Amino acid sequence: MNFEWFAIALGDFTWISLAFFLGFLAKQINLPPLIGFLATGFVLNYFGFAGGEMLQKLSDLGITLLLFAVGLKLKLKVLKRPQVWLTTALHITAVIVVFGTAIFGLALMKVPLFAGLDFKFSMMLAFALSFSSTVFVVKSLEEKGQMKSLHGRIAIGILVMQDLAAVVFLAASIGKLPTPWAILLFVLFPLRPLFHYFLKKAGHGELMILYGLVLALGGAELFELVGVKDDLGALIMGLLISSYPQSNEMAKSMMGFKDLFLVGFFLSIGMSGQLSLEVVLLGLLLVPFVFVKSAFFFMLMTRFKLRSRTSLLATLNLTNYSEFGLIVAAIGVANERIMVEWLIVIAIALSVSFVVAASLTTNEDKIYKKFRSVWMRFQSKERLPDDCLLDTFGATIAVFGMGRVGTGAYDKMRELHGENVVGIDFDSEQVKLHQTLGRKVIHGDPSDADFWEKVEEGHSIELVMLALPNLEASLHALTQLREISFDGRIAATARYPDEDERLHEAGVNAVFNIYTEAGTGFADHVTEKK
Give the CA angle between residues 242, 76, 88 to the nearest 5°: 130
- pLDDT, one tens digit per residue, over 47-90 is 777 666 677 777 788 878 877 887 787 777 777 888 888 999 99
Residue 32 DSSP symbol:
-
Separation CA 385–CA 445 (nearest Å):
15
* Alpha helices for 304-427 (secondary structure H): 308-317, 324-334, 341-362, 364-370, 372-376, 404-417
Lowest mean pLDDT among 22-31, 200-209, 270-279, 300-309: 270-279
Q: Phi and psi for 506 in degrees, rounded to 5?
A: -80, -5
What is the set of domains in the chain, with CATH numbers?
Answer: 4-46+53-376 (1.20.1530.20), 389-528 (3.40.50.720)
Does residue 307 sit in helix, strand or coil?
A: coil
Q: Is the pLDDT of residue 111 over 70?
A: yes
Separation CA 358–CA 352 (nearest Å):
10
235, 71 Cβ separation under 8 angstroms: yes
- pLDDT, one tens digit per residue, over 321-333 is 987 777 677 666 6
What's the distance, CA 324 to chain centroid? Answer: 16
Return the pLDDT at 375. 93
Does residue 163 sit in helix, strand or coil?
A: helix
Q: How confident is the model at residue 490 (pLDDT cuts 50, 70, 90)?
A: very high
Separation CA 72–CA 200 (nearest Å):
15
pTM of the model: 0.70
The predicted model gives 8-34 an average pLDDT of: 75
Lowest mean pLDDT among 57-66, 345-354, 450-459: 450-459
Q: How confident is the model at residue 244 (pLDDT cuts 50, 70, 90)?
A: confident
Separation CA 328–CA 494 (nearest Å):
44
HSE-CB at 399 with a 13 A cutoff on CA atoms is 26
Burial class (CB in 10 A: 0-12, 13-18, 19+), 437: exposed
Q: Is the pLDDT of residue 284 over 80?
A: yes
- For the chain, how far is it from start to end, CA to CA, in angstroms? 76
Separation CA 441–CA 455 (nearest Å):
13
Return the pLDDT at 389. 60
Separation CA 314–CA 307 (nearest Å):
11
Could you tell me what percentage of the chain is helix, strand and coil, using 3-state DSSP and rounding each to the nearest 5?
70, 5, 25
